[in-house]
Chain A
Amino acid sequence: MKVSREELLHIAKLANLNLKEEEIDTYLLHLQDILNFANIVGNAKVEGLQETIGANDNYNVFRKDEVKIFENNEGLLQNAPEKERNMFKIPKVIQ
């Protein structure tokens, strides 16, 4: 599949990444290269095979509905770039 410049920019937007003008061609080339290689999965004989979900056969692993308070609440906020009244501060978001 051929990746267009517009597609690459759309993908970058979804991933919240800026691509500098001079980077775009390199990213495009590398992405195309890797996808060309990845296309090989299309040749694998997988008819009738289930998709693997998760790397092992665990299932029904649940937690009891019991409250445990995390003891280091302070530590959860100590890395915040900006905070106010114990909340993370960001530029005003209009909903």
Chain B
Amino acid sequence: MDITKLTVHELQEKLSKKEISITNITKAYVENIEKHEKDVQAFITPLSKEALEKAKELEAKVESGEISGSLAGIPIGIKDNICTKGIRTTCASKMLENFISPYDATVMEKVNSENMINLGKLNMDEFAMGASTEYSYFQKTRNPWNLKSVPGGSSGGSAAAVAANMVPWALGSDTGGSIRQPASFCGVVGLKPTYGLVSRYGLVAFASSLDQIGPITKDVKDSAILLNVITGHDEKDTTSINTEKIDYTKALKNDVKGLKIGIPKEYFGEGIKPEVKQSLEKAIETYKKLGATVEEFSLDIADYALATYYIIACAEASSNLGRFDGIRYGYRTENYTNLKDIYRNSRSEGFGAEVKRRIILGTYVLSSGYYDAYYKKAQQVRTLVKKEFDKAFEKYDVLLTPTSPTVAFELGTRSNNPLEMYLADICTVSVNIAGLPGISIPCGVDSNGMPIGMQLIGNKFKEETILNAAYTYEQETKFRENYEPTFKGGAC
């Protein structure tokens, strides 16, 4: 039995039957990291040694009855923009190469209180800006399905580590698709919760009104379990929603009879790769077969949403990243005589090109004379996008789209043209603009064996609906039984 191929709920079962131990699990993962990390390069800060020690400690505590809990001793990987006390949090940036957070993010407090084991901090695009993880200052993560391909981004390290069985599951963050798109590229499940469902306290902000932390898992049930862990009202985040906690695993009914699925036809238009389209069409047929009603409709906001996304995300980022000034923490240039030098040189040397590009765009759209034409307009379009989704959810329970118009592309083939790269986010960004939940699950592979992702979008706080729809499809199609990453493409 290869422990690392098991899902977390399978691990829990075996743990409770005492077929395996906490140290067995962590050891198996540490061994797998040793085996694959040189090819995949998903970790910025691996914590294998600490994890093994922690596993021993937890095992003793569980045996003595000091602690209990169904997740005690389950390992996890953490995207490196989530603050971990005492462990460096780099955001994959030179700016924070040696930054040690003085506090834990709220989600980390929750993970720690479940006595889970942190296997390491995972690679990403610098400050979560990018869709391929190629914009990491440290390394380029590879897609376990083809090492010549990108894992997607920005949570590429998280998705690749889950796909490569180097962690059983991971936390990512999603501002415009950063959980769902890499999940799609790596053939795993990625959930972006409704804005406000998960506390953002301790998530290094990219775009405050769009960012959400969410799970990247091997299957839908794990996604529900990890969502149970990280949700809950947080007084430290005023945008956090104060509602009763839901047990999302109870929503997994394996039944979609009567579910009304809307297919926004604009997401299937030009730009979508034929194999992706075919795969999605097959998935639609599956849903029909399972008793759901499916209807095509028009959601004519995709282009607006994308432009709005880049205006708002960059504007907020330009302000959020002002704090990286070389004074209290982070990179400080060696080349200075006065304060101005510290600011300009630290920021110019500490940030990568894509981050600077977005700061400049964001500064521009907020600057005097352009605010009304860009930022203010974008905020109005945002209202329009929400209204359009509201209308759609009057008719449908779930919207079904591709997660990305393409499968994972080869490294270095797209990053020269930022606009082209931005356009590839067309399927995911409107979900963030409207603050909705969205899940990406694998729905097949293309002729090269690369995974294709399907996105299910739900109404606000209807995670249960999309989780059930995803679960039912997953039970029917059993992607994980039919396909697995091959690590082909060799070390580069």
Contacts and interface: CB of A to CB of B under 8 A. Distances in A.
Contacts of B98: 79
B238 A49 contact: no
B467 to A, nearest CB: 20
B370 to A, nearest CB: 7
Contact of A53 (B326, B379, B386): B379
Interface of A: 1, 3, 7-8, 11-12, 14-18, 27, 30-31, 33-35, 37-46, 49-56, 58, 61, 63, 70, 72, 74-76, 78-82, 88, 90-91, 93
B364 A35 contact: yes
A12 B425 CA distance: 26
29 contacts: A11-B360, A15-B318, A16-B344, A18-B348, A30-B357, A30-B418, A30-B419, A34-B419, A38-B374, A41-B311, A42-B373, A44-B384, A46-B377, A49-B380, A49-B383, A51-B382, A52-B382, A54-B239, A56-B239, A78-B100, A78-B102, A80-B327, A80-B329, A81-B330, A88-B327, A90-B342, A91-B336, A91-B339, A91-B342
A37 to B, nearest CB: 6
A33 B376 CA distance: 20
Contacts of A17: 344, 347-348, 351, 356, 359-360
Interface in B281-312: 303-304, 306-308, 310-311
A72 B336 contact: no
Contacts of B386: 52
A77 to B, nearest CB: 8
A90 B346 CA distance: 13
B422 interface: yes
B235 interface: yes
B483 interface: no
B379 A51 contact: yes
A55 B239 contact: yes
B214 interface: no
Contacts of A27: 356-357, 360
A82 B330 CA distance: 11
Given A52-B379, A58-B239, A90 B359 contact: no
Contacts of B64: none
A45 to B, nearest CB: 7
Contact of A81 (B306, B308, B332, B381): B332
